[in-house]
Structure 1
Amino acid sequence: MRWDNLSSATHGGPGDPPEAAPAAPPLPLALPGAVTRTFDTPGFAGMTFYEVRARSIINRVPGASRVPFEWTVNPYRGCSHACVYCLAGETEILLADGHTRPLAELRVGDEIYGTVAQGNHRRYVRTAVLAHWSTVKPAYRITLEDGTTLTASADHRFLTPRGWKHVTAAPPGEPPRPYLTITDSLLGIGRSGPTTGDPERCGAGQATAAPLDGTILSSRTALRVRRIEPQGRELRLYDITTGTGDFIANGVVSHNCFARNTHTYLDLDPGRDFDTRVIVKVNAGELLRRELAAPRWGGGHIAMGTNVDCYQRAEGRYRLMPQILAALRDFANPFSILTKGTLIVRDLPLLRQAAEVTQVGLSLSVGFVDERMWRAVEPGTPSPRRRLDVVRTLRDAGFAVGVLMAPILPGLTDTDDSIEETVAAIAAAGAVSVTPLPLHLRPGARQWYAAWLAREFPGLVPRYRELYGAGSYLPQAYQREVTARVRIAARRYGLHRPAPGETRQVPPDAAPAPAVEQLSLL
């Protein structure tokens, strides 16, 4: 759909979500008159929702696309799955001219220092600020051996000789993640700048002792962590997106939020805005009902969740999917849903009703079951184990559920052991089929993934350059080889490729679906 076909939502209507508080951050230029809301719950801290009334909701997939469907419905643009990495506004950021500037005062376009991996080393290079934002989060203070302090959110990551580490351990109930302790050291130049024999410290706004361009990041300048203390309150914290994916904060190398291009045509930045400024098509259900009733609509299959997850956390607030499912049921229009979200279980009664009159395909996306890899690549989404629990629930309700084994990451999750472990878990969850899909990297996602790979697995960068040198998709030979190995494993565990329509119908003798409470969002 075109974004000039949007109008503002009406205030105070019967469909307004509960506990919504009007807010007034600047509106994107492409969304004039949209109703702007924030929510006073921890799970949506720092997020803004733009409620719009779309003028069309069934979208035709471009003919050049390789996807096996023609029509989609997307009630949301942007996604609330992602994490937040932030620092205090007074944190001094190293500029490309050697001076420093407080993080809160940086602006898009400022030239600063970051790092890039080259072979076995990481070097300092100049980069630019691509996006800048703030939010309010619980704060922690990290004190280093030279007296340097950093105030950051629990999710923030700093570079250590053993890789990137979060400020704190994962919250209770979440998979473990690498985190700082007093045995760790942070890499960087320190507050005094690069080694030149000049003992003077580099104070705020002062220039470092020598240019950093091309200098190798050395563990000799690492600073030991002395204390990590919760501040006991929420503070306004800031972050940026840079061209290298990191920056120098109070003399140490700091991770930044990743960037994607999907929001740029809305006059929103491609990184933080995608995760925290979500467009909500509040009239999606009524609009879909009208378009399904139009004489020109031919009743084609509609795919959902293929672009933005329709069961992201925001759906728990806005409840757009029940209206959409009811419309598809009433018009007996075939559809499928692909999701990483557990909230789909809430709508089991509607899904069963729809399956009685039309074909309904349900699939969960589970690319791998390594939870450390999940935390690194898909932060903010339900864990693979929780998604497989949803497969079990849908199976017990009578659905034949497929699993899209995506993405399979070259060099990371395409090993025989990873494929075997993932296929075994999918089979144990009761899925009827598994469809492998190796990673494809469209513009935006490609830049984010390349930056992440260079930071986390620099040794794989040359291989990826070779594999993706021709575009967004992997070579056909690689895809065939990985697909063959997944299918061999699938046969061992009794899985098979679905026949057309096989996963889209509830068996007529299936037991009634159990009553399901809405899942917690927090």
Structure 2
Amino acid sequence: MHAVQESLLDAAPPVIERPRIERQAVTRTFDGVTCHEVRARSAVERVPETAELPFQWSVSPYRGCEGACAYCAARRGHRQLGLDAGAGFASTIVVKTGLADRLRRELAAPRWEGAPVALGLAGDCYQPVEEIYRLMPSIVRALADAGNPFTVLTKSPLILRDLDLLREAAKVAPVRAGVSVGFVDDRVRRSVEPGAATPQRRLEVCAELNDAGIPCEVLMAPILPLITDSPDHLRSTVRRAAEAGAVRVTPIVLRLPTGAREWYLAWLEREHPGLVPRYQALYGRSPTADADYRTRIIAQVRSLAEAYGIGRDSRRWRRRRSPARQLTLA
């Protein structure tokens, strides 16, 4: 028995296989955020139809997001890379270096037909690490030089840094922006979107982009069942989008694909344990909520958008801008 114990003690420690991306990347750490720099092998990616988004093609300079939104469907990408799709999604960011050069080559390829692309689906393209890497200016220039239409999706005021570039690009191609504001109650934001800008600030960004000539819509995403789907929540969010001059409101009900599902339901269990059984009934094993529920919520939002003149007369409702003012359901 004694000999067996000695052989176990003398045995080599088990080899823990690191994710391939960690072994291939140049890794740097900034203020507690680990960045894996990898050379971009592709730029334009097809958006899966199952994502139910109004885009077919996307370009994402970052994977992972410091916004730390509990519901983010992009968490699945971290899981596929062997990275932590939970807390690590916000603290471990994959940075695609050389992306603009790769994008230029792909946009110049004969098979590319100049289809519109969305920027930032795998992680906010204007999240804080963009202040360090500054990938977006070269990406915007590449799209502008190719005359390719694009839409920037973000929750971040940092997009305003590149406002002049966006305006220049808009002279040669359709350029739009989409600011994600699923709800305007900042108490909910602090819980489920702890690293994101306040809804108030995002709506101010929407107003500034529209004032500068960059058409900006509000992606009402996601609408959280049983949390932000009440008539008051929906009305308040649509009204504030109208006041910000949003050219359109696109309602998107929460999706729970694998990767995001586990993390969001863990959050729900902590914050709203009484809702867990109702979510199980609403979603079952599907990443999407019950079809009748989604149809009803989307119809309500569209009716409210029509009532507030969004898409018809976006200046009908006077905007109210106050950075210090937190949004409630008033």
Shared fold, TM over 0.5: yes
1:143 match: none
2:139 match: 324
Aligned pair in 2 of structure 1 residues 313, 468: CA closer, same or farther (>3 Å)? same
1:357-436 mapped onto 2 (5 Å cutoff): 357-436=172-251
Which structure has the greater CA radius of gyration?
1
8 Å contact from structure 1 (residues 436, 486) kept in 2:
yes
8 Å contact from structure 2 (residues 68, 89) kept in 1:
no
1:46 to 16, 21, 32: 32
1:59-78 mapped onto 2 (5 Å cutoff): 59-62=45-48, 64-78=50-64
The aligned length equals 295
> How many Å separate the matches in 2 of 1:428 and 1:68?
24
Per-residue CA deviations over 1:52-83 (Å, capped at 9, x if unaligned) read 11121111234555333221111111112239
> How many Å separate the matches in 2 of 1:451 and 1:264?
16
> How many Å separate the matches in 2 of 1:33 and 1:458?
41
2:11 match: none
2:25 match: 34
Aligned pair in 2 of structure 1 residues 455, 384: CA closer, same or farther (>3 Å)? same
Which stretches of structure 1, 4 residues or more, deviate above 4 A after TM superposition? Answer: none
Alignment pair present for 1:265 and 2:265: no
Aligned pair in 2 of structure 1 residues 271, 64: CA closer, same or farther (>3 Å)? closer
8 Å contact from structure 1 (residues 435, 497) kept in 2:
no
- 1:428 Cα deviation from its structure 2 partner: 1.1
> How many Å separate the matches in 2 of 1:291 and 1:81?
29
TM-score scaled to structure 2, two decimals?
0.83
Structure 2 stretches of 5 or more lacking a match?
1-16, 314-330
Question: Aligned partner of 1:415: which letter?
Answer: S
Aligned pair in 2 of structure 1 residues 409, 497: CA closer, same or farther (>3 Å)? farther
Question: Aligned partner of 2:152: which letter?
Answer: I
Aligned pair in 2 of structure 1 residues 27, 345: CA closer, same or farther (>3 Å)? farther
2:104 aligned counterpart, secondary structure: helix
> How many Å separate the matches in 1 of 2:58 and 2:240?
30
1:263 aligned counterpart, secondary structure: helix
Question: Aligned partner of 1:436: which letter?
Answer: P
Question: Aligned partner of 1:329: which letter?
Answer: A
Name the structure with the higher helix share: 2
1:179 match: none
> How many Å separate the matches in 2 of 1:292 and 1:309?
22
Name the structure with the higher strand share: 1
Aligned pair in 2 of structure 1 residues 492, 70: CA closer, same or farther (>3 Å)? closer
> How many Å separate the matches in 2 of 1:391 and 1:275?
24
- 1:400 Cα deviation from its structure 2 partner: 2.4
1:117-136 mapped onto 2 (5 Å cutoff): none
8 Å contact from structure 1 (residues 75, 310) kept in 2:
yes
Question: Aligned partner of 1:54: which letter?
Answer: A
1:279 aligned counterpart, secondary structure: strand
1:174 match: none
Structure 1 stretches of 5 or more lacking a match?
1-25, 40-44, 84-244, 246-258, 499-522
Question: Aligned partner of 1:78: which letter?
Answer: G
- 1:33 Cα deviation from its structure 2 partner: 3.8
> How many Å separate the matches in 2 of 1:340 and 1:334?
20
Task: Provide the alpha-carbon RMSD of the alignment.
Answer: 2.3
1:361 aligned counterpart, secondary structure: strand
1:349 aligned counterpart, secondary structure: helix
1:333 match: 148
8 Å contact from structure 2 (residues 36, 93) kept in 1:
yes
TM-score scaled to structure 1, two decimals?
0.54
1:465 match: 280
- 1:260 Cα deviation from its structure 2 partner: 4.8
2:67 match: 81
1:209-248 mapped onto 2 (5 Å cutoff): none
8 Å contact from structure 2 (residues 59, 121) kept in 1:
no
Question: Aligned partner of 2:94: which letter?
Answer: I
Of all paired residues, the percent bearing the same amino acid is 53
1:268 aligned counterpart, secondary structure: coil
Aligned pair in 2 of structure 1 residues 407, 65: CA closer, same or farther (>3 Å)? closer
8 Å contact from structure 2 (residues 64, 123) kept in 1:
yes
Question: Aligned partner of 2:84: which letter?
Answer: D
